[in-house]
A and B are shown apart, each in its own frame.
Chain A
Amino acid sequence: MGILEVKGVNKRFGGLQALGDVNLSVAENTVHAIIGPNGAGKSTLLNCLVGKLIPDTGSVMFDGQSVLGRAPYEINQMGISRVFQTPEIFGDLSVMENMMIPCFAKRDGSFELNAIAAIASQRDVVEKAEQMLVDMNMIDKREMHAASMSRGDKRRLEIGMCLSQEPRLLLLDEPTAGMARADTNNTIDLLKQIKDERDITIAIIEHDMHVVFSLADRITVLAQGTPLVEDAPENIRGNPKVREAYLGESA
């Protein structure tokens, strides 16, 4: 029984069957990659996991509880954090403030009317956020305006923000999309380090096979909304079905 169990999920947009009978099981403390050509339904699947979309049929269980019908913030409080394709951070705020917000969310829940206490007096949150910035190697940028950072740094901050919530499942949506080679390698190193140092399950959607094969313990190949193969990375490479899905029938 995996920490995330997707069973018989269907999702239709008008005439398009975006997801057709998707079954997926992500085992705890592994890195599970979901790959597939454009339009395979990877992002739709991810959106069904975090509450942005509700599947037409099927079930999505996280740690034995259904996530269906819950708002994104509730699913996040259950222990699923999501990193977006384009880094979603609080651009108007400083790096330190960005890092404190998830720490408050972790400590106080989805809403807390803490309107009189000064932020500086919340020592536990301040220390936790500072520690996370040290871990992310960004403590020298703590007062920087988040929007003015490089794409790689924004990604690093976003991952740090997700980690500071101590999630049990981290979802990454093409974390290296549009990045320079150096930034991509930095991100791979960061994710490897996270995988080694923390008790965390990672599900990653990715186009870059270099990233996938560097990180994944298990790979699911999605094509036309349906899982084609699920196997260990070394078996995926040579699988003729996968080649066919990516390169077309004639290949």
Chain B
Amino acid sequence: MLGLNKRDTTLLIAVAILTLFAPFILNPFPEGSAMAQFNAGYPDLMQRFVIFGIFAVGFNILFGLTGYLSFGHAAFLGVGSYSAVWMFKLLSMNVLPAIILAVIVSGMFAVVIGYISLRRSGIYFSILTLAFAQMSFALAYSVLTPITNGETGLQVYNDDPQYLMGPDSPTATNLFGLEMRSTYTLDIGHWSFDFNAGYYMCALIMLIAVYLSIRIFRSPFGLMLKAVKSNQQRMNYTGLNTRPYTLAAFVISGMYAGLAGGLMASMDPLAGAERMQWTASGEVVLMTILGGAGTLIGPILGAGFIKYFENIFSKINDTVLHQWFAFLPDGLEDFMVFIVHPFIGKGWHLTLGLLFMMVVIFLPGGLVEGGQRISAWIRRRNTDDAEKANGKTKPAE
């Protein structure tokens, strides 16, 4: 279907179903219950899941296929956001031109930064991209204040020209009148599910982005990118010029990042320089490696995982902990809270760091490898059971 083989089609359909039903899947606990803490099905967070999913999927086209580790991808995210907000300021609050401009401008940025950075490979390439991103951050933060509004951040003001605004045009971001923030809440018993217009638009765009990424992975171009990662020497002596291949991959992944930045601004018409900081660049590297670099689905899993931790674990505080451990005797309760305390709230980074270390050490292929191991184990166990039932267990060799 759609030019994909059976396995890739299944994967795409699975992602489609998960994103479509995310409001249900992410809200498994009834409102007001102790576990409601872990519900992630509110519009703001769901939007972030898919937007960072797009960011990581694009990053994976560069890092997963060619092995070039860019440490400055947040620059494109920021450029995308600024471009989008400028469209809101100049035209109207319609997100479509904003998203298109975000992709184009970040693509142009990627051509320039990639052209220079790709003259080197390995650690030197990473450092060059990091330097560019930090320069972009510094420019946005101070030097280019007329364009970026400096540390205040770029936002839409009442006296902005907005040439395409009619008298009845919505003043919130919208897609031809459909406001991004409009949400329909469905209450079933104690449960409550939010269906947000902005989320569904982002989810649809993410599905298109994932589909395109699958096509790239399975194309001759994708094969060449894998060849770049495997052996550049052989590539050169096979009549292939590696430079344009890596540059094309860099620009495509920069455009994905710009798209993500444009969507972020479309959900909340605000762009700040901190979006370009190196921590943001590092985050997408973590997402991709955590999920599984070079796999189709890994980056989305990684993005979801990290965003979930960031938003859910960081909200757990000592009061909540005391509720959880209330069944224990007083001294023990305090002791448990004392033990768990560093890993929650502001300490969520610690939990994430430990998890990241465990994944890198025990599952170098990321969460995807974990999934594969589990399914292989289940399959093996099933065949073992079947063999035992048939009495055909082979003797050990």
Contacts and interface: CB of A to CB of B under 8 A. Distances in A.
A73 B239 contact: yes
A50 B85 CA distance: 52
Contacts of A121: 3
Interface of A: 50, 71-74, 76-77, 81-82, 84, 88-93, 97, 100-102, 104-106, 108-122, 125, 161, 165
Interface stretch (B104-112, B136-144, B241-249, B368-376): B241-249
Given A111-B244, A119-B220, A82 B237 contact: yes
Contact of B238 (A105, A113, A122): A105
A161 B238 contact: yes
12 contacts: A71-B241, A73-B236, A88-B234, A89-B234, A90-B226, A97-B226, A100-B220, A101-B227, A104-B220, A109-B239, A115-B248, A119-B218
Contact of A110 (B3, B220, B240, B248): B240
A93 B226 CA distance: 8
Contacts of A112: 220-221
Interface string B211-222: 000011011111
Given A92-B226, A101-B227, A111 B236 contact: no
Given A91-B231, A101-B240, A113 B221 contact: yes
B219 A101 contact: no
Interface string B321-363: 0000000000000000000000000000000000000000000
Given A71-B241, A119-B220, A89 B231 contact: yes
A113 to B, nearest CB: 6
B219 A76 contact: no
Interface in B192-223: 215-216, 218-223
A117 B231 contact: no
B279 interface: no
| CB-based closest 7 A-B pairs | A76-B239, A115-B221, A90-B230, A110-B241, A92-B230, A88-B234, A111-B244
A101 B223 CA distance: 8
Name which of B218, B224, B236 has the most chain A CB atoms within 10 A of its CB: B236
Chain B contact residues, majority secondary structure: helix
Name which of B236, B238, B245 has the most chain A CB atoms within 10 A of its CB: B238
B215 A100 contact: no
Given A90-B230, A91-B230, A115-B215, A101 B224 contact: yes
Nearest to A78: B239
A111 B240 contact: yes
Contacts of A108: 220
B319 interface: no
A92 B238 CA distance: 17
Name which of A77, A90, A121 has the most chain B CB atoms within 10 A of its CB: A90
A115 B234 CA distance: 21
Nearest to B222: A115
Nearest to A51: B236
A47 B82 CA distance: 49
Contacts of A110: 239-241
Given A118-B218, A161-B238, A165-B238, A111 B245 contact: yes
A185 B37 CA distance: 70
B231 to A, nearest CB: 5
Given A71-B236, A73-B240, A76-B237, A114 B220 contact: yes
Interface band, chain B: 20 to 34
Contacts of A50: 237
Nearest to A92: B230
B181 interface: no
A90 B234 contact: yes
Contacts of A89: 231, 234
Given A93-B226, A104-B220, 11 more contacts: A71-B236, A71-B241, A73-B238, A76-B239, A89-B231, A89-B234, A106-B239, A109-B239, A115-B248, A116-B219, A125-B220
Name which of B5, B224, B244 has the most chain A CB atoms within 10 A of its CB: B224
A73 B173 CA distance: 50
Interface string B239-270: 11100110010001000000000000000000
Contacts of B224: 101, 104
Given A91-B231, A118-B218, A119-B219, A102 B241 contact: no
Contact of B229 (A81, A88, A92, A104): A92
A119 B227 CA distance: 14
A113 B241 contact: no
Contact of B237 (A72, A109, A120, A122): A72
A155 B216 CA distance: 30
A44 B154 CA distance: 59
B311 interface: no
Contacts of A111: 240-241, 244-245
A67 to B, nearest CB: 13
B171 interface: no
Nearest to B216: A115
A8 B41 CA distance: 75
Contact of A90 (B5, B231, B248): B231
Nearest to B229: A92
A118 B241 contact: no
B233 interface: yes
A120 B4 CA distance: 10
A200 to B, nearest CB: 16
A90 B227 contact: yes
A186 B223 CA distance: 30
A130 to B, nearest CB: 16
A70 to B, nearest CB: 11
A97 B238 CA distance: 14
Contacts of A165: 238-239
A104 B241 CA distance: 12
